[in-house]
Structure 1
Amino acid sequence: MVFSSESFLFLFLPLFLALYYLTPTRTKSYTILAGSYLFYAWWRVDFLGLLFLTTVFAYVVGQKVSRHRGTARGKAWLGIGVAGCLGVLGVFKYLNFFLDSFAALVGTDTAGLGIHWRLILPIGISFYIFQALSYLIDVHRGDAKADARFIDFAAFIALFPQLIAGPILRYKDLEDQFKSRTHSAEMFADGMARFLIGLAKKVLLADAIAPLANLAFANSGDVGMGLVWVGVIAYMLQLYFDFSGYSDMAIGLGKMMGFNFLENFRFPYISRSITEFWRRWHISLSNWLRDYLYISLGGNRRGKLWTYANLMTVMVLGGLWHGANWTFVLWGLWHGGILAVERATGHDRRAARLPWALPLTLLCVLIGWVMFRAENVGQGFEVYAAMLGANGWVGNPALWLEVTRESLAFTCLAVVICIVEPRAWTLFEARRDFAIRPDGTVAIPMVQGAVSLGLIALGVFTVMKLAEQSYSPFLYFHF
């Protein structure tokens, strides 16, 4: 089940919210857990067992880590917890990759090795495993308490707004909210508005742009220089609006349930360095890698060369977190290398004064997205070659006939939105407050009223567009 589907919007969500608000405060976590498990089982009920066992394992080990914190036994329990979580992630996400790589190394395929099965990747496993890991590490560090009721912890791990594609939550940020949180009409309305914005990003922009990106990458050996650049830029925009749209919907759903999730995107395409880009893109992952991996490796405390090595290592592992493919390794190396260069030259500190910093950063991000999107390394380099003119400016003329006015128009609209989004967001934030007159009537300023009406119209148009298009999962479901 995806947020941008009729079954979620008109069946699951209304029923869940009705039950949630009818449930007494003390037992709301039971409703959250039941709803989240139903949401996850809609995809495949068998993998629900893996989610539950991971939750039980992390909870029990967390209790042991807390009880023996600061001792050798506590560190041993932490090691067991980390090894167990990473073991689950490693088997389901990377076993196929390692088997394929080994088979290719010896000049055959997995069938030639006598292996005739493939493991299915459970949806959302990268996110809920990272949440379990952060909980264990935070308990070990004393940043989180292990005094939660099991039902609250299970609801945290399975919280359906972010279960499938993030943002990556940390228990220490939500433990107080599970014990006590505020529900109000204003917060619910704010969450609904945020959800509608995210839904519009997905349905009106990401899905409309997708055909251009698919056309360029699916025909990488024939596409001309002009069309491939349009397609690559389209993917750059598609990925942003798809993933940030999901994050907006997750944050909005959280507000409807009384939760305040941290922001996951902060206008990344206005960044003037790759360092700044990673402060703005997928913030929950960036912070997770910094706090639990980069710092654990020594961060910048062991000298410059060690710092650069840590940056490279973190980004490569961050690339592998996205998927078991050599394309993600190369993508991680690309970003890690640039981060190391920026750290060595101090570019990030000077970038704000450099007029060419923004276009250079966007170009670097664009080059990285090519390998991120490619199905394999070979296809990635075919796209790079086409971008440099290997197939001529036109390429296969028949491909141009597949370009629609709608996809081009929405690609241009997406570019404009990226430019005006920071100021538009300020306007959206300003619509929150309204005044109540002494006689009890509500006074809504003109700007606030206009934005609210605009959101209603946007929601109606988005639902109408959703009704006419086919199923389109979020891109980050693959990770």
Structure 2
Amino acid sequence: MSDLSFLYFFLPVFMGLYLIIPKGLKGKLVLVAGAGLIFCADPVGLIPMGVCILSGYLFGIFIHNFRDKAISKLILVLEIAVNAAAFLLFHRSAFDGSDFMALIGQRSLVKSASVIGVSVMPLHSIAYCVDIFKKKYVCEHRFTTVAEYIAFFPSFAAGPILSFDKIRNKLEEPKPDFDKCANGVRLLMSGIIMKLFISNSMIELWHDVTDIPVNDLPMLSAWLGSLAFTLFFYFEVCAFNYIACGTASMMGIELSNGFRGAANSYSFRALGRRMNPSLYFWSRNYIYRNIRHEGNCFSEFAAIMISVIATMLWYGTSLRNIIFASAVIIILCLEKILETPLIKLPEFLRSILVLFLMIVIMPFMAFSDFKEAQDFIGVMFGAGNSAIDTVSGYLLGAYSFVLITGIIIMFGLLGYLMRKKVFNNEYLRTIIQPVWVIALLIICTAFLVSGENCNYLF
């Protein structure tokens, strides 16, 4: 969803058809388009797509029909198991190619398959059935509506993860217009430029740093590398969420991505919420709240542990994700224990402390080997032979503009400026927005032509 074929072929053709066909066929077109994207990436991906859609639709009806009987809970467990199996079998991290079968020492039958959407569709299917079980809403008998929700292709890459009750009316009654289309194009271009300019640049900086033997790595380069991977980790998700929201807005369906100044978080829990808002709320609503019991400390820590591990596995089912999740769990538990003294600290100091901790533990996510991550963190705290060298200066100079841009956006300063100073001013908005979108389109095209369209985490 960040290459030339998507931008200049798929999207124009899809939008042209979407805008001219009758309203009753729009949902079917969205479903066919999603299946087409998956098929083009790898036909094997149609298997988890079919499993997620059929299980959600059928089990949703069964759960509704037996909602007052004990069997409904058994049906729900089966629904969760089926979708969890689809996720674990087909989901893998594009960053290192790891999957669940490799984690348990088995060779995966689908290791070579490029399955898109499998990180989102099982979560949609599970959320739909859990909400029916909780009587939040009744089941939907129209197959196309459920299928379009579960396999909503704009969110295939990295979300946002949607709630059926909030998106249902928008799917049934999309209202495309000029303003939504213009806003969608702006969001789409912003997401692609984040992906190509910031995310890809930061992973290149990370690779430049890790190409240096750890024994020769200076402390400044180690900190630069970990900061780069942190920015990559954030912007890889953020970019695809902007692309999804932009594509949906062009269709007349407004989504909220919720990415607002992650670096301004005053707690690690808030940082997790801002790093990937929709995944955080899915984990909180469907895992954390179902395990935690008020007044029970053990259930509180168990809920934190299970929800964090499940969240980290969403990024990839490898050992590195388990190790990183363990580090996050330790920090969250300490934060809970020390909640009273921490809240007395100035907000600015707390936000700096949270960001510092994220950068320190990020090597656990970046390295496949625990010992390599441990050695790298050791260099960050002075275990290396030097603090700075000519290579550190070169890397800092070569990537300084992208680093500063990423940090500014991560602190929410650019978004604040655009919202308060530009897009609230009718005159400036009328003049600047079209020029801004055209400039982004030209820059994106230049990046894509040069081959800068790699997807790493998803």
Retained in 1: the 8 A contact 2:51–2:86? Answer: no
Q: How does 1:37-436 map to 2 (within 5 A)?
A: 37-93=35-91, 119-120=111-112, 122-219=115-212, 221=214, 222-297=216-291, 299-346=292-339, 350=343, 353-393=346-386, 403=395, 405-419=397-411, 420-427=413-420, 430-431=423-424
- What is residue 95 of structure 2 aligned with on the other side? none
1:447 to 421, 428, 446: 428
Over aligned residues, Cα RMSD in angstroms? 2.7
**Separation of aligned partners in 2, 1:446 and 1:26:** 38
**Separation of aligned partners in 1, 2:62 and 2:454:** 39
**Separation of aligned partners in 2, 1:250 and 1:241:** 14
CA 169–218 in structure 1, closer or farther in 2 if over 3 Å, else same: farther
What SS is found at the alignment partner of 1:53? Answer: helix
**Separation of aligned partners in 1, 2:365 and 2:160:** 19
Paired residues, what number? 450
What SS is found at the alignment partner of 1:125? Answer: coil
CA 60–409 in structure 1, closer or farther in 2 if over 3 Å, else same: same
Retained in 1: the 8 A contact 2:4–2:449? Answer: no
**Separation of aligned partners in 1, 2:186 and 2:457:** 23
**Separation of aligned partners in 1, 2:135 and 2:211:** 49
The answer to which of 361-370 and 59-68 deviates more is 361-370
**Separation of aligned partners in 2, 1:295 and 1:57:** 24
Retained in 1: the 8 A contact 2:189–2:441? Answer: no
CA 381–458 in structure 1, closer or farther in 2 if over 3 Å, else same: farther
Deviations 1:367-415 (A, max 9, x none): 2322112223232112212212333226896x55974854332212322
**Structure 1 runs of 4+ with >4 Å offset:** 96-103, 115-118, 394-397, 399-402
So what's the TM-score if we normalise by structure 2? 0.90
How many percent of aligned residue pairs carry the same amino acid? 19
The one-letter code matched in structure 1 to 2:338 is T
The one-letter code matched in structure 2 to 1:30 is K
Deviations 1:152-191 (A, max 9, x none): 2112222111012211112222112222232211111111
- What is residue 456 of structure 1 aligned with on the other side? 437
What SS is found at the alignment partner of 1:42? Answer: helix
So what's the TM-score if we normalise by structure 1? 0.86
CA 307–447 in structure 1, closer or farther in 2 if over 3 Å, else same: same
Mind listing any 5+ residue stretches in structure 2 that lack a counterpart?
A: 93-97
CA 343–34 in structure 1, closer or farther in 2 if over 3 Å, else same: same
Deviations 1:90-116 (A, max 9, x none): 33459x86665665xxxxxx6xxxx69
Greater gyration radius: 1
**Separation of aligned partners in 1, 2:348 and 2:76:** 48
Once the 2 structures are TM-superposed, how far is the Cα of residue 462 of structure 1 from its aligned partner? 2.0
Once the 2 structures are TM-superposed, how far is the Cα of residue 286 of structure 1 from its aligned partner? 0.7
Retained in 2: the 8 A contact 1:196–1:458? Answer: no
Retained in 2: the 8 A contact 1:246–1:474? Answer: no
**Separation of aligned partners in 2, 1:197 and 1:348:** 40
Mind listing any 5+ residue stretches in structure 1 that lack a counterpart?
A: 104-109, 432-443
Once the 2 structures are TM-superposed, how far is the Cα of residue 137 of structure 1 from its aligned partner? 0.3
The one-letter code matched in structure 2 to 1:476 is L
**Separation of aligned partners in 1, 2:255 and 2:341:** 28
**Separation of aligned partners in 2, 1:328 and 1:116:** 18
Once the 2 structures are TM-superposed, how far is the Cα of residue 464 of structure 1 from its aligned partner? 4.2
Retained in 2: the 8 A contact 1:203–1:465? Answer: no
**Separation of aligned partners in 2, 1:348 and 1:291:** 28
What SS is found at the alignment partner of 1:47? Answer: helix
- What is residue 12 of structure 1 aligned with on the other side? 10
What SS is found at the alignment partner of 2:41? Answer: coil
The one-letter code matched in structure 2 to 1:455 is W
